[in-house]
Chain A
């Protein structure tokens, strides 16, 4: 459309096609004058003069050209706003991750018929799926197994049409109207992207940790706990995850040493639960005790060395489970998005990142509370903000 072309729409309030054409013009931010032919006989006469007496609405005048009852495609073509079809696979929304934030967002977007594809490189449900029992997610008075919650969230999202691709997104590029995602299934385009990749448990970086990985050092109690029936183990960490998983592991291990670098940060409820196991002699808590080394012989872990108030501590054991803090899964966007000093993704009040149209929610977001209920809430908020973005985003011709 030439910039000087004036656009006039002749229509009526009762005319659905008129509303559709006006909505299209609004979506593409095309300025136009609207004349309601029912409001003034002169306007109707003016329109009939333009159409050789054809009483059809909407009649749209673009410069010197007249079009009547156009389809959206025809109108966009006349306005030179017809967008060439991209050759790459395109989705309305691609969600990176399939944990509680991602799946909740997908429930919201797919319910509104927004075409949504999720990418998951690990386990659907994220860390929630490998957590034994979740006691603080609302709606489950007796708590819910992490795997069950994850599976139910997945089923709910899939019921509305969400598609989960088992693969990985390795980079995101801003191309204005579209975001290009490099994935293990090839490049894909999305009108909007939600990053909900969450976090993984952090390694503590002590000697022996890497060497005995999966042969005495573990990060998933629900996966590997069964290998420690009637054996002595340590759990490292003092937060909710460490206490929760230590309690879970009591069903296998003969005894657990809980190694806490400072003080226990777990919730009061978990601490009360923990006390029962401490009183039973099943768990021993070592406060203000660092873990300095994991020691082994012949491919098996035999002991943990640490320090308490400057004095060395050595505990004989068979395995170590580490739940000492979280590491954000943001490596793939470290060069494209603004991150905080730890590596979590910075967002504004709309959960939008430093790239317009790319949003972040859940544990990956800087300032997140690392709660499943919060992640679900952020997923819902992100979905609504994405809908707003899709409704208002600029047309490529205006980029």
Chain B
């Protein structure tokens, strides 16, 4: 079961829109961290994902385990939020 979802995005990132569109279509709530508006949180995204890219989607389960999905990767995103 999903407890919460955080997506790191930027204003110009098309793949970020796709992640938001997918979660929106599933009726799932998420917190968006826009790195253009909050550049000080870049290090956090980098630490979680190990990659200098967005989108980074962090799915926290009810047991507080986390799954981090880098990029728009439906093969990983879909089961993570199912």
Q: A residues within 8 A CB of B72?
A: 122-123
> Quick one: given A227-B42, A229-B39, are A215 and B14 in contact (CB under 8 Å)?
no
Q: B residues within 8 A CB of A224?
A: 52-54
A147 & B51 in contact (Cβ 8 Å cutoff):
no
Q: A residues within 8 A CB of B36?
A: 226
Q: B residues within 8 A CB of A209?
A: none
Q: A residues within 8 A CB of B10?
A: 222-223, 225-226
B52 & A151 in contact (Cβ 8 Å cutoff):
no
A146 within 8 A of B: yes
Contact size range, A? 20 to 34
B27 to chain A, nearest CB (A): 15
> Quick one: given A123-B14, A129-B14, A147-B14, are A223 and B74 in contact (CB under 8 Å)?
no
A30 within 8 A of B: no
A227 & B52 in contact (Cβ 8 Å cutoff):
yes
B17 within 8 A of A: yes
A257 within 8 A of B: no
Taken together as a complex, chains A and B put the C-alpha atoms of A223 and B35 apart, in Å, by 11
B17 & A214 in contact (Cβ 8 Å cutoff):
no
Q: B residues within 8 A CB of A121?
A: 74
By beta carbon, the residue of chain B nearest A318 is: B52
Contact with B along A155-184 (1 / 0, CB 8 A): 000000000001100000000000000001
Taken together as a complex, chains A and B put the C-alpha atoms of A146 and B42 apart, in Å, by 24
A123 & B18 in contact (Cβ 8 Å cutoff):
yes
Within 8 A of A (CB), among B4-42: 10, 12-18, 21-22, 35-36, 39, 42
By beta carbon, the residue of chain A nearest B46 is: A227
A223 & B54 in contact (Cβ 8 Å cutoff):
yes
Within 8 A of B (CB), among A309-343: 319
Which residue of A132, A151, A226, A229 contacts B17 across the interface (Cβ within 8 Å)?
A: A151
By beta carbon, the residue of chain A nearest B22 is: A166
By beta carbon, the residue of chain A nearest B52 is: A227
By beta carbon, the residue of chain A nearest B34 is: A226
A79 within 8 A of B: no
Q: B residues within 8 A CB of A223?
A: 10, 12-16, 53-55
Which residue of A125, A132, A299 contacts B12 across the interface (Cβ within 8 Å)?
A: A132
A372 to chain B, nearest CB (A): 14
Which residue of A125, A225, A227 contacts B14 across the interface (Cβ within 8 Å)?
A: A125
A226 & B54 in contact (Cβ 8 Å cutoff):
yes
Taken together as a complex, chains A and B put the C-alpha atoms of A224 and B13 apart, in Å, by 8
B74 & A167 in contact (Cβ 8 Å cutoff):
yes
Q: A residues within 8 A CB of B13?
A: 130, 220, 222-223
Taken together as a complex, chains A and B put the C-alpha atoms of A151 and B21 apart, in Å, by 11
B53 & A214 in contact (Cβ 8 Å cutoff):
yes
Taken together as a complex, chains A and B put the C-alpha atoms of A224 and B16 apart, in Å, by 11
A20 to chain B, nearest CB (A): 40
By beta carbon, the residue of chain B nearest A164 is: B21
A22 within 8 A of B: no
Within 8 A of B (CB), among A117-164: 121-125, 129-130, 132, 145-147, 150-151
B62 to chain A, nearest CB (A): 26
A100 within 8 A of B: no
B70 within 8 A of A: yes
B39 to chain A, nearest CB (A): 6
Contact with A along B53-78 (1 / 0, CB 8 A): 11100000000000000111010000
B25 to chain A, nearest CB (A): 8
Q: Known pairs A166-B21, A220-B53. 10 more at Cβ < 8 A?
A: A123-B18, A124-B17, A130-B14, A132-B12, A145-B12, A167-B74, A215-B50, A215-B51, A223-B54, A226-B35
For the complex of A and B, 6 pairs with smallest distance between CB atoms: A129-B14, A222-B12, A214-B51, A227-B52, A123-B14, A130-B14
Q: List 20 A-B contacts (CB under 8 A).
A: A121-B74, A123-B15, A124-B18, A132-B12, A147-B17, A151-B17, A166-B21, A167-B74, A214-B70, A214-B71, A216-B52, A222-B10, A223-B14, A223-B15, A223-B54, A223-B55, A224-B54, A226-B35, A229-B39, A299-B50
> Which B residues form the contact surface with A (CB < 8 A)?
10, 12-18, 21-22, 35-36, 39, 42, 46, 50-55, 70-72, 74
> Which A residues form the contact surface with B (CB < 8 A)?
121-125, 129-130, 132, 145-147, 150-151, 166-167, 184, 214-216, 218, 220, 222-229, 299, 319
